[in-house]
Amino acid sequence: MAEKDIRIGDTVMVERAGDVIPYVVKALAKKRQGQEKKFSMPSRCPSCGGDVLVAKDKKKSRCTNMNCPAQLQQRIQHFASARALDIDGLGEKRAAQLVEKGLVTWLPDILTLRPNDLLALEGYADKAAHNLYNAIQQAKETTLARFIYALGIPLVGEHLAGLLAARYEDLPALQRAAEEELLEIPEIGPEVARSLAVFFTESHNCKAVARMVAEGLRLENPIFSGKKGILPLAGLKFVFTGSLQGWSRDEAKGLVQRLGRRATTSVSSATDYVVAGPGTGSKLAAAAELNIPILSEAQFQDLLNKKGVRVGTIRQREPSGRKY
C-alpha cells in the first residue's frame, strides 16, 4: 500500500494474476475526492486497545490481549477444544450463544458458569446444562501443557506448549521468563520468545490467568523433571513399535516430544532406543542389526524414572476426539 500509494477509500485497478488471484495494479488518483487516508498498521488493537505483535516478515499482526472482544468467540472454542481443556459440549454454537447473551465477556467467565445461567440459552434443557457445568468443573483440573496451549498464545502450539511445560515447573515460572531465557529452549526462536514475553507482560492476560486460578483452576505438571532448564530426553531419539499396554502409541510419542525430542517412525543409525511391545515387525530386526538398545515398555518407564519423570502421573486425560 505504501509503495503504490494506495489509500483508504481509493478506487483501484484490479487484474487477474495467474488466472486466479486478484492483483491490485494501482490506485486511480484522478478519482480521489480528498477524503482518502493513508494506511498505517496500528500499534494498538482497534477493538480493545491491546498491544499489537507484528511478525518479523510484517505479514501478520496480532492483538496480544486474550480477552479482546473481536477474538472472544473463537478463543472460547479453542480454550474448550479437545486438545486444550476438553470441555464437552462447548463448541461453536454454544460459544456464540454465550457471547451473544453476555454470559462470557472474557475467558475466566467460562469457569464461573452455573446451570441456571446455561438454562437461559436457547436449546438448553436441565440435563444439558448440568452436563456442561460438570464438564467445566472437570476441566478446572488440567495439566500445565494443556493450559499453555489453551491460552492461544500466538505461534505456540501443542508441541511448544509441551516443551515449555518440560522446562518450567509451574505457570508463574513461565510468566517470569525473559526472552533471552526462552531462547535457550530448543526449537524456540526469536519470534516465539517475543510472543511469549509480550503475552505474559500484557496486563489483561495476567489478570485473566489470575482470575482463573481464583475460580479454582488447578494445574499439574507431571512431566517436570525436577532439573530446571533441562529437558529430560533432550538429544535422544526414540522409535516405538508394536502395541503398548500402558498408553497408546500417540501418547508415548507425545510424551517423548514434550520431554525434548520428537519420536521418529523409522529405525536408523541415529536412533538411540527402540521401545517394543507385542506385535513388533521389521523395526525390531533393524534395531538388532544396528545394535540399537531395545527396551520393553517397563524398561522405558524405568528410563523415564531415572531421568526424573514421575511416570505414575504422566498420562494426561485422553482428548475426547469430538469435532466442534
Query: Which of 54-63, 74-83, 278-287, 315-324 has the least mean pLDDT?
Result: 315-324
Helix (H) or strand (E) run with residue 78 in it: helix 72-80
- Statement: residue 153 has pLDDT above 60: yes
In a domain, 29, yes or no: yes
Q: How far is CA 279 from the centre of its chain?
A: 34
**Residue 320 and residue 80: Cα distance in Å, rounded?**
11
Answer whether residue 269 is part of any domain: yes
Task: Lowest mean pLDDT of 106-110, 130-134, 151-155, 248-252, name the range.
Answer: 248-252
Any domain includes 175: no
**% of the chain surpassing 90 pLDDT:** 42
What pLDDT does residue 314 have? 42
- CB–CB of 35/9 below 8 Å? yes
Residue 219 in domain? no
Cβ-contact 236, 133 below 8 angstroms: no
CA atoms within 13 A on the CB side of 65: 21
pLDDT cut 70: percent of the chain above it: 87
Its domain, for residue 86, covers 72-139
User: Does 8 reside within a domain?
Assistant: yes
- Among 139, 166, 195, where does a domain finish? 139
Domain end point (choices 121, 139, 157): 139
Ranking 69-78, 235-244, 247-256, 299-308 by mean pLDDT, the lowest is 247-256
Indicate whether 307 belongs to any domain: yes
Retrieve residue 27's grid coordinates: 490506485
Question: Do 34 and 76 share a domain, yes or no?
Answer: no
- 77 and 33 belong to one structural domain: no
Read off the C-alpha cell for 102.
453476555
Render pLDDT for 22-51 as a digit per residue (tens, 0 to 9). Answer: 999 999 999 999 999 998 888 888 888 888
Predicted confidence (pLDDT) per residue in 291-318, tens digit: 999 988 888 888 877 766 654 444 443 4
How many residues does this entry show for the chain? 324
Residue type, 302: D
**Strand 21-27 relative to strand 12-17, pairing:** antiparallel
Quote the CA–CA distance of 242 and 249 in Å, as a whole number. 9
Higher pLDDT, 229 or 94: 94
Higher local confidence (pLDDT), 230 or 126:
126
> What's the CATH code of the domain at 293?
3.40.50.10190
Q: Tell me the pLDDT of the chain averaged across its residues.
A: 84
Enter the C-alpha cell of residue 123: 436449546
Q: Is residue 107 part of a domain?
A: yes
130 and 82: one domain?
Answer: yes
Residue 199 φ then ψ, to 5°: -60, -45
Confidence (pLDDT) at 229: 44
Number of domains in the chain: 3
CATH number for 109: 1.10.150.20
Q: How far is CA 98 from CA 77, 84, 101, 120, 205, in A?
A: 11, 19, 5, 10, 20
Count the neighbouring beta carbons within 10 Å of the beta carbon of residue 127: 9
Any domain includes 274: yes
Query: pTM, whole model, 2 decimals?
Result: 0.64
Q: pLDDT-based confidence at 226, cuts 50/70/90?
A: very low
The confidence score (pLDDT) of residue 10 equals 95
Q: Give the whole-angstrom CA distance, residue 177 versus residue 263.
A: 27
Higher pLDDT, 250 or 159: 159
pLDDT for 242 equals 84
pLDDT at 124 over 90: no
Looking at the fold, whether 84 and 135 belong to one and the same domain comes out as yes
81 shares a domain with 31: no
Which grid cell sits at 10? 481509493
Q: Is the pLDDT of residue 106 over 90?
A: yes
The predicted pLDDT at position 36 comes to: 92
pLDDT band at 136 (very low <50, low <70, confident <90, very high): very high
Q: Which of 114, 139, 164 is the last residue of a domain?
A: 139
